[in-house]
A and B are shown apart, each in its own frame.
Chain A
């Protein structure tokens, strides 16, 4: 309610202040563009002039050609599609499974106390180390999902459970005075009060699922961006590798932006 009321006619001091703010914003944007262009220029210039070996680094125009090459082969859509699908499915499974487990732990403190040390160890364990085991147990496709889920699952459980436990005790007490039982406290207080925790977990998991999928694809796959990176490096096509990495970073930014949009819609 107590908003600042903008003056009908801003004072000179305010106009100066606003102009300074605008200049500072423009400087930041120019700085970012310069950094990006400088990096691309150096990357283009150095390999072409024999300062570094172009076989090892490739360079932007070659990456651009490599990118069109992939499209011309008609396989780029397939690789992107495969990786995206693997990310989405494992991301969804890790979120749903993690949420269900976190809820169970919150509902049963006894279960939480028993499982706590195991969860801590599993969360600390570098899940990447399990890739060969997953491959032996589950085969090439199954192991990709298994790694991606394993990477995201435990952090989901721990983040959500911690959020649930930090819910306002006064709100819980209030709900109890109104006659709420455990399940109602969960649905009326804990879950709606933890939308921000849920969104933070989503954001963390998008990146983690992508890591899991790419590592899974490294081990064994016939398609996907991870496959493209490994394949490209094996036949020494650095342009292909770099193109795949650029696409990968665009995908992760894209998914992140979608999650952020979802967050603003949900926490309005």
Chain B
């Protein structure tokens, strides 16, 4: 079941590549070996989930990919080029929607373009279009506090998408939501990401969510985070075209994937 870690032929570099990545944190308390010898690739348009116990360095991988942190050794590459810092090409969705309560929904979506000094009239038109597509057309001039949790998370996705990234990093973006909202919003956001052909990496504790949304699930070992296994997620019993996140949860294969990944996460080392 070991997946393809070498990527495509060399002529076309993979969308994302972790090459021998090692990371040590330093603090006054000492040194922490967070990530060890990480190697994997993600192809364009692929949806990857990363699961592992708390503190296994899942979120750290996203910070490296976004350029918020630098590797101690090894390289993180996007389109074959090393990541040097945050780029508009990479969108990050965090656990908390972190909408600014002093801005309207539309102004929140325009935060990125403002910071990047983009053409504002164009960005505004884009933000309005995106938010309207996400069902927030009526709420462009509302404050975040006036919106429900699910709507806020959609607004946060709108803010990310307004930068037109081709890579999306999702750091447990659904974990602060109640169960029902979580199910519907993850289905919805998964749909949007696939429809728009974005490359995405989801970090989560929730194994069913990881399986339901992803083409491949990467399992990490406890600290220092090492790549334990990669599972190719397919549902032959559901036919050629993969149905939505909700439907796959009923598939025969779903239970098997869950059981395998669960067992892997439980066993240490």
Q: Whole-angstrom distance between the alpha carbons of A25 and B112 in the complex?
A: 49
Taking CB atoms, residues of chain B closer than 8 Å to A184 are: 115
B85's nearest neighbour on chain A, judged by CB, is A179
Query: Could you list 17 A-B pairs, sorted by A, with CB under 8 Å?
Result: A1-B146, A170-B98, A171-B98, A171-B100, A173-B98, A174-B94, A174-B98, A175-B115, A176-B86, A177-B86, A177-B92, A179-B86, A179-B112, A179-B115, A180-B115, A192-B102, A193-B100
- Contact flags A177-206 to B (C-beta < 8 A → 1, else 0): 111100010001100110100000000000
A193-B66 contact, Cβ under 8 Å, with A177-B92, A188-B114: no
A178-B96 contact, Cβ under 8 Å, with A1-B147, A184-B115, A193-B102: no
Taking CB atoms, residues of chain A closer than 8 Å to B100 are: 171, 188-189, 192-193
User: Contact residues of A with B, CB < 8 Å?
Assistant: 1, 168, 170-171, 173-180, 184, 188-189, 192-193, 195
Interface centre among A173, A178, A184, A193 (most CB of B within 10 A): A178
Interface centre among A168, A176, A179, A192 (most CB of B within 10 A): A179
Cβ B102 vs Cβ A178 within 8 A: no
Taking CB atoms, residues of chain B closer than 8 Å to A189 are: 100
Cβ B88 vs Cβ A179 within 8 A: yes
A195's nearest neighbour on chain B, judged by CB, is B102
Tell yes or no: B29 within 8 A of A by CB. no
Number of A-B residue pairs with CB-CB distance less than 8 Å in the complex they form: 53
Taking CB atoms, residues of chain A closer than 8 Å to B86 are: 176-179
Cβ A178 vs Cβ B115 within 8 A: yes
Taking CB atoms, residues of chain A closer than 8 Å to B115 are: 175, 178-180, 184, 188
Cβ B94 vs Cβ A173 within 8 A: yes
Sorted nearest first, the 5 A-B pairs with minimum C-beta distance are: A177-B92, A178-B112, A174-B98, A170-B98, A170-B96
Q: Whole-angstrom distance between the alpha carbons of A180 and B114 in the complex?
A: 10
CB distance from B88 to the nearest CB of A (A): 7
CB distance from A113 to the nearest CB of B (A): 13
Contacting A1 at CB < 8 Å: which of B90, B103, B148?
A: B148
Taking CB atoms, residues of chain A closer than 8 Å to B261 are: none
Tell yes or no: B64 within 8 A of A by CB. no
Taking CB atoms, residues of chain B closer than 8 Å to A180 are: 115
Tell yes or no: B183 within 8 A of A by CB. no
Tell yes or no: B111 within 8 A of A by CB. yes
Tell yes or no: B68 within 8 A of A by CB. yes
CB distance from B66 to the nearest CB of A (A): 5
A179-B87 contact, Cβ under 8 Å, with A184-B115, A188-B111: yes
Contacting B94 at CB < 8 Å: which of A170, A192, A193?
A: A170
B148's nearest neighbour on chain A, judged by CB, is A1
Q: Whole-angstrom distance between the alpha carbons of A170 and B66 in the complex?
A: 15
CB distance from A263 to the nearest CB of B (A): 14
Taking CB atoms, residues of chain B closer than 8 Å to A188 are: 100, 111, 114-115
Q: Whole-angstrom distance between the alpha carbons of A173 and B86 in the complex?
A: 11
Q: Whole-angstrom distance between the alpha carbons of A122 and B88 in the complex?
A: 45
Taking CB atoms, residues of chain A closer than 8 Å to B66 are: 177
A168-B98 contact, Cβ under 8 Å, with A1-B147, A1-B148: yes
- Contact flags B38-67 to A (C-beta < 8 A → 1, else 0): 000000000000000000000000000010
Taking CB atoms, residues of chain A closer than 8 Å to B96 are: 170
Taking CB atoms, residues of chain A closer than 8 Å to B95 are: 170
Q: Whole-angstrom distance between the alpha carbons of A27 and B238 in the complex?
A: 72
Taking CB atoms, residues of chain A closer than 8 Å to B136 are: none
Contacting A178 at CB < 8 Å: which of B116, B146, B147, B148?
A: B116
B86's nearest neighbour on chain A, judged by CB, is A179
Tell yes or no: B163 within 8 A of A by CB. yes
Cβ A177 vs Cβ B111 within 8 A: no
CB distance from A267 to the nearest CB of B (A): 8
Q: Whole-angstrom distance between the alpha carbons of A195 and B100 in the complex?
A: 13
Q: Whole-angstrom distance between the alpha carbons of A173 and B66 in the complex?
A: 11
Q: Whole-angstrom distance between the alpha carbons of A178 and B68 in the complex?
A: 10
- Contact flags B233-257 to A (C-beta < 8 A → 1, else 0): 0000000000000000000000000
B146's nearest neighbour on chain A, judged by CB, is A1
Q: Whole-angstrom distance between the alpha carbons of A192 and B100 in the complex?
A: 9
B145's nearest neighbour on chain A, judged by CB, is A1
- Contact flags B80-116 to A (C-beta < 8 A → 1, else 0): 0000011110111011101010110000000110111
